Chain A
């Protein structure tokens, strides 16, 4: 066997230049990453500067008022928490149930593909379209009125696709060997899912759910349509009570002529950001604690 003789073009390694490209590229990627981080920092600093001076305990526990110095966010904060809890309670079982059906129960069929494509599509539908649906379905057709429960149901529909997709990913990540082992020992399908698959998938499911809920808390557009009212000087006590949420209160205050309200809006934004950062922090802690490479 003859050794290949370099008859063709000579291969010039040009290591230096290629390494240089590599360094430049790495720097560019790092720079790009920093763009996101810097933008976040700029936004947080801007809101902090405008609003930190107005934050106080009385701000959090007061009711809204036309007098900026007295205006507070209590009904909006409680409304947001109500909506958050209700949405979580309703969307979690339905979302996880759908994901389990898709991954564990449904046979490969046109029905399954239809549902899958449908969910992927719903994930991209603009939030305001969900508002239109919520208004027609929950407020009008089911006569639930402009209440906390209507808002929660509308947001449930909004974040359901996100929960389903995240849960599906988490369930898919559980290796088949676990399932096969359980079946081999005689477990039924539900026993396998409940006893083996779900506990392993739960961290991923929870992370996805919490991130979806944090999106729900920050939404204003669909709730505007469903009737989160502008002036609600009361904390909601029943599911059918009128309500408002922090994003809408912020939106409302920004539109007032008095600049003092703009500072209040910035302070309310800080409270909202605190709620969201807490949710995000919980999600990340969960993910870090329970993730393992399978």
Chain B
């Protein structure tokens, strides 16, 4: 479809909005351009402001999140010292005695995300390499959308798939696996984020100019060598950025872990045990019996703030990585 160059085709004599179409008569347009431009400028300015306001929405969103989380978390931290919170190894705010060490929840989130990364990063990158370097067009047009469907499946459905399909399989292989376990959730979260890695990496790989590949071929490299030693390193910034985005998504996942990983905060490295992640904890308490305004309820905001800070950190890391490794081609 050829781009529409409507500015060229439009008859300057025909009525129309904007400076170019204003002239009614043929011949010189110099005189008539002056008047419309003033009106046009105000209109332009108004549009610019409107668009800026749209952009402001996103800034306000962040401000909103920080205000809500920090405000309530502040009253939590007045009662529980931040040092105890960040270094304590027991999380029992609803038990007696109450302990407010967030490390078990943090460990749960990290354990699940690490397992998911172990699944998704190699599989996603290999899929991206396959789709961008090897796959014939028809295979690509089927497989790429299929992988994208994985990203669209509701997390509730994934959660129950983890609980009713993956966990029994794990229990057959390792009978000591708990009915809730981090491994099942990790595997399914991993499957869910494969498309993130594969789509973004594939975009990065495709953006590597053909000249680079052809140069490598000219020097006698095989397809495998071109892919692994030329293309992937050239696209490294995009690939690493996709990794970090996928890991953030894994950390932020709520429903799958709430359903399959359990509700027992547990500081452990064993994926066959039940753990609770930060996100699952927030979901549990918000729907539960804790009286609003109590310290148990305020833990939601403290944990939420920790979660937000963690994803912010990962994002800053991602930006730093991209800037460090970005290759400019033209």
Mutual binders A and B? yes
Select which of A105, A119, A288 is within 8 A of B141 by beta carbon. A288
Could you tell me which residues of chain A, from 78 to 96, have a CB within 8 Å of some CB in chain B? 93-95
| In the complex, chain A residues whose CB is within 8 Å of the CB of B222 | 15, 18-19, 21-22
Query: Among the listed stretches A52-60, A125-133, A144-152, A236-244, which one makes contact with chain B, having 4 or more residues with CB under 8 Å of it?
Result: A125-133
Per-residue contact bits, chain B 27-42, to A (CB 8 Å; 1 contact, 0 not): 0000001000000100
How many residues in A have their beta carbons less than 8 Å from beta carbons of B?
99
Which 9 A-B pairs give the minimum distances between C-beta atoms? A126-B252, A218-B154, A97-B54, A32-B126, A22-B224, A29-B130, A101-B51, A124-B248, A33-B127
User: In the docked arrangement, what's the CA distance between A173 and B284, Å?
Assistant: 43
| In the complex, chain B residues whose CB is within 8 Å of the CB of A28 | 126
Residue pairs across A and B with Cβ atoms less than 8 A apart, 16 shown, are: A19-B222, A21-B222, A26-B130, A29-B127, A32-B127, A37-B143, A37-B147, A98-B51, A124-B315, A126-B311, A128-B304, A187-B18, A211-B151, A250-B160, A269-B157, A280-B145
Known: A39-B150, A40-B146, A221-B155. 9 other contacts (CB 8 A): A13-B220, A21-B222, A33-B130, A97-B55, A100-B51, A115-B59, A124-B245, A126-B251, A132-B286
Which residue of A is nearest B7, CB measured? Answer: A185
| In the complex, chain B residues whose CB is within 8 Å of the CB of A31 | 126
A48 to chain B, nearest CB (A): 12
| In the complex, chain B residues whose CB is within 8 Å of the CB of A157 | 61
Q: Establish whether residues A126 and B225, one from each chain, have CB atoms under 8 Å apart when the complex forms.
A: no
Which residue of A is nearest B164, CB measured? Answer: A46
Which of B61, B155, B308 is most buried by chain A, counting CB atoms within 10 A of its CB? B61
Contacts A97-B51, A272-B157; A127 near B149 (Cβ below 8 A): no
Q: Establish whether residues A125 and B65, one from each chain, have CB atoms under 8 Å apart when the complex forms.
A: yes
User: In the docked arrangement, what's the CA distance between A122 and B319, Å?
Assistant: 14
User: In the docked arrangement, what's the CA distance between A121 and B145, Å?
Assistant: 26
Query: Among the listed stretches B100-108, B174-182, B191-199, which one makes contact with chain A, having 4 or more residues with CB under 8 Å of it?
Result: B191-199
Which residue of B is nearest A276, CB measured? Answer: B152
**B173 at interface by CB-CB < 8 Å:** no
Which residue of B is nearest A270, CB measured? Answer: B157
Select which of A13, A36, A42, A129 is within 8 A of B307 by beta carbon. A129
Contacts A101-B52, A190-B44, A218-B153; A125 near B308 (Cβ below 8 A): yes
**A71 at interface by CB-CB < 8 Å:** no
Could you tell me which residues of chain A, from 208 to 235, have a CB within 8 Å of some CB in chain B? 211, 214-215, 217-221, 224-225
Select which of B55, B122, B245, B251 is within 8 A of A32 by beta carbon. B122
B283 to chain A, nearest CB (A): 6
**A279 at interface by CB-CB < 8 Å:** yes
**B295 at interface by CB-CB < 8 Å:** no
Could you tell me which residues of chain B, from 234 to 280, have a CB within 8 Å of some CB in chain A? 245, 248-249, 251-255, 258, 279
A-binding residues in B (CB < 8 A): 1, 3-8, 18-20, 33, 40, 43-44, 47-48, 50-55, 57-59, 61-62, 64-65, 68-69, 122-124, 126-127, 129-131, 134-135, 141, 143, 145-158, 160-161, 164-165, 191, 194-195, 198, 220, 222-225, 227-228, 245, 248-249, 251-255, 258, 279, 282-283, 286-287, 300-301, 304, 307-308, 311-312, 314-315, 318-319
Tally inter-chain residue pairs, CB-CB below 8 A. Answer: 284
Which residue of B is nearest A195, CB measured? Answer: B6
Q: Establish whether residues A220 and B154, one from each chain, have CB atoms under 8 Å apart when the complex forms.
A: yes
Q: Establish whether residues A290 and B1, one from each chain, have CB atoms under 8 Å apart when the complex forms.
A: yes
Select which of A18, A36, A130, A189 is within 8 A of B123 by beta carbon. A36
User: In the docked arrangement, what's the CA distance between A131 and B65, Å?
Assistant: 10
User: In the docked arrangement, what's the CA distance between A247 and B258, Å?
Assistant: 14
Could you tell me which residues of chain A, from 22 to 77, have a CB within 8 Å of some CB in chain B? 22, 25-26, 28-33, 35-37, 39-40, 42-43, 46-47
Contacts A25-B228, A32-B123, A129-B304; A124 near B7 (Cβ below 8 A): no
Q: Establish whether residues A196 and B5, one from each chain, have CB atoms under 8 Å apart when the complex forms.
A: yes
| In the complex, chain A residues whose CB is within 8 Å of the CB of B1 | 290, 292
| In the complex, chain B residues whose CB is within 8 Å of the CB of A129 | 65, 69, 252, 304, 307-308
| In the complex, chain A residues whose CB is within 8 Å of the CB of B4 | 195-196, 199
Q: Establish whether residues A118 and B58, one from each chain, have CB atoms under 8 Å apart when the complex forms.
A: yes
A100 to chain B, nearest CB (A): 6
Q: Establish whether residues A119 and B157, one from each chain, have CB atoms under 8 Å apart when the complex forms.
A: no
Which residue of A is nearest B244, CB measured? Answer: A124
Contacts A22-B223, A98-B58; A42 near B68 (Cβ below 8 A): no
